[in-house]
Amino acid sequence: MTPLALTHFTATSCIGRGLAETLASLTDRRGGLAPCVFETVRLETHVGEVPGVDEVRLAPELARFDSRNNRLALLGLSQDGFIEAVSECAGRLGRRRVGLFLGTSTSGILETEIAYRRRGPSGALPAGFDYAATHNAYALAAFVRRVLAIEGPSAVTCTACSSSAKAFASARRMIEADLIDAAVVGGVDSLCLTTLYGFHSLQLVSRTPCRPFDAARDGISIGEAAAFVLLERHSGATPPGAVLLAGLGESSDAYHMSSPHPEGLGARAAMQQALASASLEPRDIDYINLHGTGTQSNDSAEGHAVSAVFGAHIAASSTKGATGHTLGAAGALEAVFCALALRHGFAPGGVNTSRPDPAVGLDYLRENRRLRLRRALSNSFGFGGSNCALVLERA
């Protein structure tokens, strides 16, 4: 594939609002997980809640979109001059030539959960509840499209935890088809009761902050995040040192509704396709941001897949020990983490992991490693075997 330039990007999660705070947390190895006191949930677990989401206020003309997910989206968009960068791009290329491709898994489901509490005696939902603008998955794109004032094609991908990684693939196809010249790509997922209780019912939630790839790992921690990237065609105008999307791979192994193939066959196929699309060999990758959720089955399967493709000595880590699993936002969030690692020359060590599982057989980083990174690969694997891998490269 022809590389695309990440001309602007931003991220907001429990470890920071915007790139400066995020980078400081990654370099200082600070996690943002805390005991769960979200809404009415009182499970014995830790979550990655973003402070200040409930204080965000939408403009009057956007009031119908008011939901936690859209407030988190606006908080994320407001960092690092991202709105202004998109406005400049749209002014240069035309608003209809800038597309929008986002990922989410639950969108504004919290608003429906709250609405069900407020049903009337007949069971009717409250009159002011606006499903189309809050809970509906496309509500996220409809809201962001208005905030950014862009008019190109837009879509929302919902493939569980690979959602916002696969949004990059949608954007790339639209640019290669010459339907657009640039795209805003990203992911937003916010905390809700269904997710927290749902993963708890599957016995996948850790009581302590999650420990990806640790020998004693016992489950995930749920987080929330908003991350956005402005993708444009790579040209001679792209400055040296810029970060490029050099390759991507997608697969669907459909092995099980909620478990990966034990040998990671789908994950392996996605990584191999990502390398092929970038015309690279495994030895060309310097660092892998693992999907690394902290469950026994995910980390084991991903470890098998990575070892099969790259061998046992490639530098790798999961950043979910710091942020928790941000579900549909994870792909975009961790792509931004990789972009920061490439830009600043380090591979982030995994937070909370004290004894990497020897059975996994990876060079798992527990401390940051200073490296002159040229290329990084980011893995995102979702329920039902929906897998995506991205190759990011420093120009």
The one catalytic residue in 8, 135, 291, 304 is: 291
The one catalytic residue in 14, 36, 158, 161 is: 161
Burial class (CB in 10 A: 0-12, 13-18, 19+), 236: exposed
Concatenating the DSSP letter of every residue in 234-253 gives: --TTSPTT-EEEEEEEEEE-
d(CA 14, CA 28): 14
Any idea which residue has 């009581």 for tokens? Answer: 207
Looking at this protein, which amino acid is placed at residue 179? L
161 is catalytic: yes
d(CA 45, CA 221): 7
Any idea which residue has 């891998």 for tokens? Answer: 389
The one catalytic residue in 192, 325, 338, 388 is: 325
Tell which phi-psi region holds residue 336, choosing left (phi > 0), alpha (psi between -120 and 50) or beta: alpha
Helices of type H across 46-101 = 68-77, 82-93
338 is catalytic: no
- Which secondary-structure segment (H or E) carries 271? helix 265-277
Cβ-based neighbour number of residue 335 at 10 Å:
30
Rounded to 5°, the CA angle 99-104-108 comes to 110
Question: Which residues, 6+ apart, have CB-to-CB distance to 78 below 8 Å?
Answer: none
210 is catalytic: no
Question: Which residues, 6+ apart, have CB-to-CB distance to 296 below 8 Å?
Answer: 217, 218
Report the catalytic residues: 161, 291, 325
